[in-house]
Amino acid sequence: MEFQYLTLEDFDLRDRAVLLRLDINAPLDPSSNQILDDGRIKAARPTLDALADARVAILSHQSRPGRGDFTSMRQHAEALQRTCTQRVTFIDDVMGPAARQAVKELTRGEILVLDNVRFCAEEMLEDKGEKLAKTNLVARLAPLFDLYVNDAFATAHRPQASLVGFPEVLPAAAGRLMEKELSAIERLMVDPARPCTYVLGGAKVEDKVPVIENILATRKADHVLVGGNVAKVFLQARDTKLGPQDEENLGDVTDEVLKANRILLKYRGRVILPLDFGTLKNDKRVDTEVKNLSRTGSALDIGPKTVRKFRELINESKTVVASGPMGVFEEDRFESGTRAVLESMASANAFTVVGGGHMAGYAGILGISDQLSHVSTAGGAMLSMLAGEELPAITALVAAAKRQKRKPSREF
Ligand code: 3PG
Ligand code: MG
């Protein structure tokens, strides 16, 4: 699996008008709407540095329509200004006359942040690139640019106009972050160092089960350690009775339980389930063996025996991938399982990759991000790749590279 896309090295960027798609979608404080984590904004720096002599317009989204954090990109632009050396301006328009005029007026070494691309209803359509290339968004903006650069790995699983439409009509390259993210995943997908262990948890089960199925079927993982709701679904598949609160909170997971059951039967001994949990009883943490779960409150963390077992397996591994916390790590009394996983990864002599906002954010809080081989800016996009799915934005970059190579005289 080698991605045949073009990169910034393939182009002369001096004084070129570049449309840069970033994913600087950030968690916002629900009461003040202030950015809580600027990790994705800082991660744009290498590409912005590489574009220091270009005229750059940035396109990104923040959340999606209908959500409380669906805001303008103004404060993202301010945060970008603190991150990079170029002068950054913001315009509260995406593709209207004001935005287009501001793009035309860009001078070398300047950055213009356009407003939230999802303010355009067309961006929420999901379709093939050739169709989305005909949207007003692409038709109005593309003629103003020489090059389209995609550095939005975290949104690469969305077949939307800003990701698959522009590369149909403009020369297109992957940005530095995109390259870094893809090369880390490539190392997981092509002959990972063994033993290779995945640690999967979190609340969303439906996006983890396909990953487990794929990495076991394609022999990319030797062991999968499960925590959070993922563990609860696998326990149900093994006929372990959960506490009444947990059963209620999980909702209808019939499909996932059936899939988990199939996985357990087909890949015996490969999925490692928790032995115990930190549970909530009379407002206190009580560590409870799995067989006693039905008689206790919610299971909100993996327990100490499980931590010991997970630590051991992580320490013996040469590749470790983690996505999704082991429990409600936001609460001090239930954070030890998630911390143990991250700390063992940090000290393991292995290639270690952490993905998903929660785990990546907590690694930052613990101050151990630098001790991990790769902390992804993505959640869903990384899981899609690990589940063996094609990412439409990457496919679009590869197709654009083929087109570019066929051109008799390259514009660049
Ligand atoms: C994310 O944070 O999940 C990405 O920015 C993609 O956003 P989406 O899930 O709303 O498409
Ligand atoms: Mg998402």
Q: Which residues have CB less than 5 Å away from ligand 2 (the ion)?
A: 380
Angstrom distance (rounded) from CA 314 to CA 328: 21
Q: Say what the pLDDT of residue 1 is.
A: 61
Ligand of minimum distance to the alpha carbon of 62: 1
Which tens digits make up the pLDDT trace of 250-284? 999 999 999 999 999 999 999 999 999 999 999 99
Task: Tell me: pLDDT of 409 over 70.
Answer: no
pLDDT tens-place string over residues 2-16: 679 999 999 999 999
pLDDT-derived band of residue 149, with 50, 70 and 90 as boundaries? Answer: very high
For the chain, give the mean pLDDT.
96
Q: Counting atoms of ligand 1 from 1, which one is nearest the CA of 380?
A: 3
Strand order in the sheet with 17-21: 87-90, 110-113, 55-59, 17-21, 147-150, 172-174
Q: Per residue in 79-125, pLDDT tens?
A: 999 999 999 999 999 999 999 999 999 999 999 999 999 999 999 99
Q: What is the mean pLDDT of residues 9-30?
A: 97
User: What is the 27 CA–ligand 2 centroid distance (Å)?
Assistant: 11
Find the mean pLDDT for residues 140-155: 98
Cβ-proximal residues to 269 (8 Å cutoff; 6+ apart), any chain: none
Summarised one tens digit per residue, pLDDT across range 296-340 is 999 999 999 999 999 999 999 999 999 999 999 999 999 999 999
Ligand 1 neighbours (beta carbon < 6 A): 23, 25, 64, 154-155, 158, 379-380
Protein residue closest via CA to atom 7 of ligand 1: 155
pLDDT band at 371 (very low <50, low <70, confident <90, very high): very high
Whether residue 171 is preceded by a cis peptide bond, meaning omega within 30 degrees of 0, is no
| DSSP one-letter string for 246-298 | HHHHH---HHHHHHHHHHHHHTTTTEE--SEEEEEETTEEEEEEGGGGGGSS-
Nearest atom within ligand 1 for CA of residue 61: 5
pLDDT at 407: 73
Pocket test for ligand 1, best of 23, 40, 162, 384 (most atoms within 8 A of CB): 23
